[in-house]
Amino acid sequence: MIVKWEGIMPAVTTKFTDDDQLDLVTFKKNIDAQLDAGVSGIILGGTLGEASTLTKEEKETLIKETLKIVDGRVPVIINIAEQSTKEAIAVAQKAEEIGANGLMLLPPMRYKATDYETVIYFKEIAKNTTLPIMIYNNPVDYKIEVTMEMFDELLKVDNIQAVKESTRDITNVTRLKNRFGDRLKILGGVDTLALESLAAGADGWVAGLVDAYPAETVAIYKLVKAGKIEEALSIYRWFMPLLELDISPQLVQNIKLAEVATGIGTENVRAPRLPLHGAERERVLGIINQAMKTRPVLPDYKKL
């Protein structure tokens, strides 16, 4: 399957049962909701997926299950966040063997690699797989920025094709477009800057709150790309208090609580994460409850 690197690509959460096993029934319910809303791909194994707490066997189960659910309708992208180049290559090759359609790559974990080391890390993974690759550029959370000069070198590799742009510098979308044109597809990676990124020319949005609100997220994308900015802004302004739940250290718990409200998830997280409690839980519930009371009626965005 050809990955177009456009549209809405949810960074999906991993569902757990009350006894801390994979909850594949609820997982399927959520993926089905994403597909029904019109997403363009599914991304597994990111921060929202609690990948650092999953075993290799669980990760493989999720890949296989997702491939079965989507049944070729959209690509399945696997996030790679490893400490060593050797392990990252092994994960990439296993994902390709199982049938994944693409990869999203973070820089090396824990070790703050130099620019040169980061480029070599990405290129070594890329040359050991035929899968198309999206670089995840998030210096705020991961302390390594992939600069324009680094992309000059990386784009010499054919299967490095896209970037999840999470620098928080909205002008970076224009800089990337000016420098690389369509050679590098751009997907916004910060929920609270999504509409701005799309309006500036980003090709898509790797989204978080989409896990709870898939239709609203896809509607914003479709409306912006159809030039219906005012209609998109109306939904986006309603959405913003929810989107701000994504830029929090407790984003997983926040988004899972929102999934409960929309009926496509549970609160269960894997320790050391714990469900929200006390005043913070009440604060987040207040945001979610207010959003549910004022949830907008969406236009027929699927026909745009």
Tell me if 62 is assigned to some domain: yes
For residue 298, what pLDDT is reported? Answer: 98
Tell me if 90 is assigned to some domain: yes
Tell me if 204 is assigned to some domain: yes
For residue 184, what pLDDT is reported? Answer: 98
- pLDDT tens-digit map of 22-53: 999 999 999 999 999 999 999 999 999 999 99
Mean pLDDT of the 91-117 span: 96
For residue 110, what pLDDT is reported? Answer: 85
The answer to whether the pTM exceeds 0.75 is yes
Mean pLDDT of the 134-158 span: 96
Q: What is the mean pLDDT of the chain?
A: 97
- Coil vs helix vs strand at 173: helix
- pLDDT tens-digit map of 169-191: 999 999 999 999 999 999 999 99
For residue 69, what pLDDT is reported? Answer: 98
> Band of the pLDDT at 65, cuts 50, 70, 90?
very high
For residue 300, what pLDDT is reported? Answer: 97
C-alpha 58 chain-centroid distance: 19
CA distances, 235 to each of 55, 108, 127, 145 (Å): 38, 37, 42, 31
Percentage of the chain lying above the pLDDT 90 cut: 98
For residue 214, what pLDDT is reported? Answer: 98
The domain in which residue 99 lies consists of 7-242
For residue 19, what pLDDT is reported? Answer: 97
- pLDDT tens-digit map of 223-243: 999 999 999 999 999 999 999
Q: What is the chain's alpha carbon radius of gyration, rounded to the nearest angstrom? A: 18
Residue 304: which residues within 8 A CB-CB, separation 6 or more?
A: 222, 223, 225, 226, 228
CB 193 within 8 A of CB 236: no
Tell me if 273 is assigned to some domain: no
> Band of the pLDDT at 291, cuts 50, 70, 90?
very high
Tell me if 15 is assigned to some domain: yes
214-241 burial, b at 16+ Cβ within 10 Å, e below that, comes to bbbbbbbbbbbbeebeebbeebbebbee
Tell me if 190 is assigned to some domain: yes
Mean pLDDT of the 151-180 span: 98
Q: How many domains, the chain?
A: 1
Mean pLDDT of the 57-73 span: 97
Mean pLDDT of the 239-254 span: 97
- Count how many residues are written for the chain: 304
Tell me if 264 is assigned to some domain: no
CATH of residue 15: 3.20.20.70
Residue 15 has pLDDT above 90, yes or no: yes
d(Cα 60, Cα 64) in Å, to the nearest integer?
Answer: 6
Tell me if 233 is assigned to some domain: yes
